[in-house]
Amino acid sequence: MPPRLRPLFACALLGFAPVRAAAPAEPLDVVVYGGTVAGIAAAVQAARQGASVVLLEPGPALGGMTAGGLGASDVGDKRAVGGLAREFFGRIHAHYRDPRSWRHETRADYLPRHPLNVTEATGQHWFFEPHVAARVLADLLREAGVTAHVGARLDRAGGVDRTGPRLTALRLLDGRNFRGRTFIDATYEGDLLAAAGVSHRTGREANREHGETLNGVRSLPPERTAGIDPFVEPGQPASGLLPGVAPRAPGPEGEADPGVQAYTFRVCLTDVPANRVPLTRPETYDARQHELVLRFIAGRPLLPGPRLFTLTPMPNRKTDTNNRDLFSTDLIGGATGWAEADYAERDRRWRAHRDHVQGLLWFLAHDPRVPAETRAEVARWGLAQDEFAATGHWPFQLYVREARRLLGEYVITEHDARRRTTVPDPVTFASYALDSHVVGLYADQEGRLRVEGHFLENVRAFPLSYRALLPRRTEADNLLVPVCLSSTHAAYGSIRMEPVFLMLGQAAGAAAVLAREHGGSPHAVPYARLREVLTRAGAVLELPRAESSARGPAGAADPAALAAVDALHARGHFAPAEASVNAWRNAVRPGATVEAARARALLVSVAARVEPTVTELAAALALLARRGVRLGTDWTALADPAAEADGAAVAELVVALAALRP
């Protein structure tokens, strides 16, 4: 399909008006720019509060990453999910309760394939197909009566009108103006806030700026890349460096740097022949671009899932495919400069990222230097025919993990994430790990390949201040920013998750409407009033104090527990092989939780491999007792469907199960 027709196709598919419709003459109560889930939630919440609202999305479809391939929701602490986010996942659950929703497998077949895909006790389905997410989001907008336009690109050079600190209208490239009383920038890039001249930053702050530990230039130890030579001819510096490898570090450790963590596509693959579109060789294919992956493999038959890239299982034999290790689907270096790039350059980079992922999959499936077992496994996957038809079955949305970040009334830092601060005005929680993908690669003075920018540290759920959504009042007093909110790079690594964006967007929508009562400025909205509205809408603004403190801060898992997970994985207990080993490795860390039912099911499954007559929990525990194993946790006491087991108990369990042999 020609690119110029894609926005119109997407409009027709989702039932929204194309951008040719005339702009309204009267100012709207709320103008939302950015059709991410944050933008959708903001628009729906504002409409539910009786406001006139319009939603403008510059891309070809709505839903951002949630409808763009990221089906394995990074939920973190499920207790913190409330409001529209909880409603969204509840609607997903209702969809998959219908047997007609299962075309290539049954619900019973799917549920055991990952320990985190559903919470039956509360009716939440966390993993989903892209088109299902798009449909649910479209239903929310339609039911709220929200007018939405796709292909609605802001004139970023001069398309924001303002009077003093107050925005009055924004203008699209097609010349239409949208006048409004309050504006919300819900884009991944922060294009509206930048066009409005609001202070922001990209890249990474120096650690010393806020007294952090994870910010700035951050090089991994050389052991992480030991044996992977960075030169075209191994051991020959004169031959030059491989593509993507810089000749030196970007700067001193911990110092500020403009580099941005890598982007990718969350590709929806399938192994169902009737629904599979074979992957083809991209026109720009160059095997040299994947030489580092080849050297990482080093002749070993590595498979997707635990090593090469993740294939998290989605319903109907599909996947959410993501970067797995240091050299995978991420296009390292391709994100820096994205936020400032014009539309034409972003379109070019979109294609470059697609070609990188497509080329990697082609390389792993066809290059004769790749072990035959790896080639065969990768080759059986293809694009899902019933997803993303308008963009050749590739996701319409590039995974823009981080771009601009607001410099607002309050800056969320690593100290907030580690619960070292008091936040008097929370609008939601973040609870995923502090996480940054790789920023760059370089060769150090000894000629060793080094990886720079990556970190992953677990934290407990922490509150996000309403003030972080607000620009400095002197710069813009009627603008809210729920996605590119005011945060350091270190803290943003946890905030940048789609469920959190849903909840932040809902808070922005509520505040935008309440601003009408307070001179039109969200800055003047009393927090008590906002809290009242959000609580009534189901938002979670505090967590059970005793449970949080008893659980303690999340930390690194015991190596013995990780080894036990790997041993169970090698024996096929987390089948299919690519499905769930990473989730179990995460579940055994201190401070983590997993549904007790999942752990009990694993116990019974492993015991049944040892003694096929075992079919129930009591028999499995009896088997452990006969083998001399005494568990510190009473698993029979965790029979409540809503019960959760903490990481220490799960770690003890997997160590015991790994020791069980027929």
DSSP 267-323: B-EE--GGGEE-----TT--GGGGHHHHHHHTT----TTTTSEEEEEETTTEEEEEE
Signed CA dihedral, 453, 556, 488, 541: sign only: positive
3 state DSSP class of 260: coil
Instruction: Give me the residues of the chain with pLDDT under 70, please.
Output: 1-24, 545-557, 574-583, 591, 593-594, 638-643
Which secondary structure element, helix H or strand E, spans residue 125, and what is its range? strand 124-125
Question: Residue 122: how many CB atoms within 10 A of its CB?
Answer: 15
Domain boundary assignment for the chain: 559-658
Is residue 270 a contact partner of residue 387, using CB atoms and an 8 Å limit? no
Which ranges of 314-472 does DSSP label H, i.e. alpha helix?
343-366, 372-379, 414-417
Beta strand spans in 134-187 (E)? 147-150, 160-163, 166-171, 177-185
Q: State the Cα torsion 290-294-296-302 to the nearest 10°.
A: 110
The predicted structure's pLDDT at residue 620 = 84
By the 10 Å C-beta count (0-12 exposed, 13-18 middle, 19+ buried), 47 is classed as: buried
Enter the DSSP assignment of 113. Answer: G
Q: Are 39 and 147 in contact (CB under 8 A)?
A: no
Contact 268, 320 (CB under 8 A): yes
Ordered DSSP codes for 439-482: -EEEE-TTS-EEEES-EEE----EEEEGGGGSB-TTT-SSEE-S
- What size, in residues, is the chain? 662
447 close to 237: Cβ distance less than 8 angstroms: yes
Own/partner pairs, 331-334, CB within 8 angstroms, 24+ separation: 331/262, 331/263, 331/264, 331/356, 331/357, 332/244, 332/262, 332/438, 332/439, 332/440, 332/441, 333/244, 333/262, 333/440, 333/441, 334/262, 334/263
Taking the C-alpha atoms of residue 572 and residue 231, their distance in angstroms, rounded to an integer, is 38
pLDDT of residue 627: 80
Give the integer Cα–Cα distance in Å for 633 and 630. 9
Helices 647-658, 596-610: axis angle to 10 degrees equals 10
The helix/strand/coil state of 636 is helix
Residue 113 in tokens: 């394939």
Looking at residue 613, what is its pLDDT?
A: 84
